[in-house]
Structure 1
Amino acid sequence: MQTSTPYSRELTLLGLNDVAAQLQGQELALIDLAAQAYVTHSRGDSRLPQSEYLRFPNLERERIIPKAGYLGGAHPAAGIKWISSFPDNVGRGMPRASALIILNSVQDGRPTTVMEGSLISGQRTAASAALAARLLHQGDRVKRFGLVGCGPINREVLRFVLADRRPIDGLGLFDLDSARAEAFAQEAREAGFTKSIEQFGSADDLLADCELVSFATSAVVPSVSTLSMCPPNSTILHVSLRDFTPEAILEADNIADDVEHVLQANTSLHRTQQLLGHSDFLRGTLAQVIEGMTPARAGGRPVMFNPFGLAALDLAFAEFVARTCRAAGRGAVIPDFLP
């Protein structure tokens, strides 16, 4: 007589619609979740090994990145995000990035959930940028919010920053493809943004006019060489990590999500460290700002947030999605997937 195993053999699959249903309308909660993940990581209750990029012969921008880790806290999670970035996909009518996230039990290590990961990846990036804008940018309102790169990531960044409810009096847009910038402006208007929207001819021109700026490009070579044009007390969300030369980085008051992680993979900060032989130009982390260990701004320079994109955030968001999907009865369960 065959008896059932004393452990679960099932695996839950969560597709795009399942993930989207749990994230919809949760912007403020997700910004707070990003803050909690940063603090948990900063306090040492995480394990985030460095990622080795999978690259391809004769392709400079294309890559697939494994981001594995463990995050403790109130809802511990372990797993991996496997995310690809193929910028030419945009011209093929496909998204640039695609991803899977696998969650494992922290009790026995067995995989429990596989979910679509690009939506989580984009929203955790946007939530961290909005958190940085909340903490680092001074003033009750933003005169003009500039977005360099008019793709899905900055679309999410704008949505999360607007959800954080600080008034924004206007938008500035720049993209190498002016049609993408115009489409971005139209989408913003259709989503309810009624203030002025201006397109700029270059990133430098935008930086000179906007006090809060988000860079989300596919650049692999830095193109901005100075911050001298920036307004006083401006804030730069350097989401794409490779847009500024070392000379520009040295003009900024630099904050990261994690010092060790951001100093790799030819990021602008990595290039600066290689040039100088030290990382003294990096003042601290966003978690240190959250916990009052370092001030939000220092030195009267433009402050620049440089987020490497920690797996801690992916895990926090994925665990939230898996938990709330389970409560809502969403997802496809394969009962005998595992041995």
Structure 2
Amino acid sequence: MIDNDLLVIGAPDVEAALSGREHDIMDAVQKAYETHSRGASSLPHSSFLRFPDSDKDRIICLPAYLGDDYQLAGVKWIASVPGNVPKGIERASAVMILNDRETGRPTTVLEGSIVSKQRTAASAALASKVLAPGAPETIGFVGCGPINVAVAKFLQAAWPNTKKLLAFDLDPARAQAFGEDIGPFFNNADFTIAASLEELMAASPMVAFATTAINPYIDNLDSSPENATILHVSLRDLKPGAILPNHNIVDDLDHVCRAGTSIFLTAEETGNRDFVHSSLGDILLGNKPVPERDGRPIVFSPFGLGVLDLAVADLVQESVAERKAGTNVASFLP
């Protein structure tokens, strides 16, 4: 008999399914990267809905299929409206739809911004574990919104003995609030608000960028410590001069080389993409080595792949099924 019901999973159930599971989520993200790099996925380009009266607001559609053990298909529809923040509303809001692979019928609708935030943070932390030359004594955070709060939580799981945290934001009040938010994660680390971006970059062997920048503003990474790890989550902070001389790792080269990212702008300037060393998935699979430790920073630029959303949504589904949570909408489908 065909099941005509639809399971709806709201934010409280998504939070409950993922809370305290940073290592499980990083494992799921790693498995998704490896599955994708083996070619057992389908990942069309994201579609960006933009508005004629705003160059900042957008809604993005990310369809994906994750094969092998997953056999998951679905789509994330995620809005980014920076103007929400002064109103006390989060910048990002999202919904995900999951489909049965055999029939194509939708089975589950779940709140997607929590999944999106967690997979983004887990991706950055996983990359730091793979790419960093060792445990960083200091981690810097550029941009003090919810994404970097989540990144901080996952970096604490990856590097629990970090001694010092630096933060920089154009809004000092947000930087102060950021310190209060991440304090419970890093209870043995000193937190300082950097007086300038330059101060933070010079003092931090690991830096996580999670800003709303739409145009690059950093000329180079010359002040970074040797072999620094740059987690370029927000994708549009670095000018070509900060990308080209350094080691570059991406999640998927075709996906990240578009939509005005720093990688895209560098490819436009050079006329090629040879400056990208590898995808993270190929390094995880052993197809490519970690870049040589020659003093230059390693920059990780993740576009954000829909297959990661599916892998984390799968964790949510499993937890919800075990707890008999969620809301079943009977006879939703004809």
Distance 2:295 2:184 in 1: 37
| Counterpart in the other structure of 2:167 | 173
Q: Secondary structure at the match of 1:60?
A: strand
Kindly provide the amino acid, as one letter, of the partner of residue 4 in structure 2: R
Kindly provide the amino acid, as one letter, of the partner of residue 146 in structure 1: G
Q: Does 1:79 align with 2:74?
A: yes
The Cα shift of 1:142 comes to 1.3
Gaps spanning 5+ residues in structure 2: where? none
Distance 2:183 2:60 in 1: 34
The Cα shift of 1:291 comes to 1.6
Kindly provide the amino acid, as one letter, of the partner of residue 304 in structure 1: V
From 295, 314, 329, give the equivalent of 1:300.
Answer: 295
From 133, 136, 140, give the equivalent of 2:131.
Answer: 136
User: Equivalent residues in 2 for 1:228-267 (5 A)?
Assistant: 228-267=222-261
| Counterpart in the other structure of 1:336 | 331
The Cα shift of 1:189 comes to 2.5
**8 Å Cα contact 2:167-2:193 kept in structure 1:** yes
Distance 1:319 1:192 in 2: 29
TM-score, length of structure 2 as denominator length? 0.97
**8 Å Cα contact 1:82-1:101 kept in structure 2:** yes
Q: Secondary structure at the match of 2:328?
A: strand
Distance 2:70 2:41 in 1: 12
Gaps spanning 5+ residues in structure 1: where? 1-5
Q: Does 1:286 align with 2:280?
A: yes
Q: Does 1:325 align with 2:320?
A: yes
From 133, 143, 154, give the equivalent of 1:160.
Answer: 154
Distance 1:48 1:95 in 2: 27
| Counterpart in the other structure of 2:269 | 275
**8 Å Cα contact 2:59-2:80 kept in structure 1:** yes
Kindly provide the amino acid, as one letter, of the partner of residue 331 in structure 1: G
Kindly provide the amino acid, as one letter, of the partner of residue 319 in structure 1: D
Distance 1:23 1:187 in 2: 18
Distance 1:77 1:124 in 2: 16
**8 Å Cα contact 1:203-1:224 kept in structure 2:** no
The Cα shift of 1:194 comes to 2.8
From 149, 157, 176, give the equivalent of 1:182.
Answer: 176
From 10, 14, 32, give the equivalent of 1:37.
Answer: 32
Distance 1:187 1:287 in 2: 31
Distance 1:251 1:166 in 2: 31
Kindly provide the amino acid, as one letter, of the partner of residue 209 in structure 1: A
| Counterpart in the other structure of 2:23 | 28
Distance 2:210 2:28 in 1: 22
CA displacement, residues 215-253 of structure 1 (integer Å, 9 cap, x when unaligned): 000000001011110110100000000000011111220
RMSD: 1.1
Aligned length: 333
The Cα shift of 1:191 comes to 4.3
CA displacement, residues 254-308 of structure 1 (integer Å, 9 cap, x when unaligned): 0000011000000000001111110000010111111222222224310000000
Between 1:127-136 and 1:285-294, the stretch displaced more is: 285-294
CA displacement, residues 82-112 of structure 1 (integer Å, 9 cap, x when unaligned): 0000001000110000000000000100000
Q: Secondary structure at the match of 1:227?
A: coil
Identity, in percent, stands at 45
Between 1:316-325 and 1:246-255, the stretch displaced more is: 316-325
Distance 1:263 1:195 in 2: 36
**8 Å Cα contact 1:31-1:127 kept in structure 2:** yes
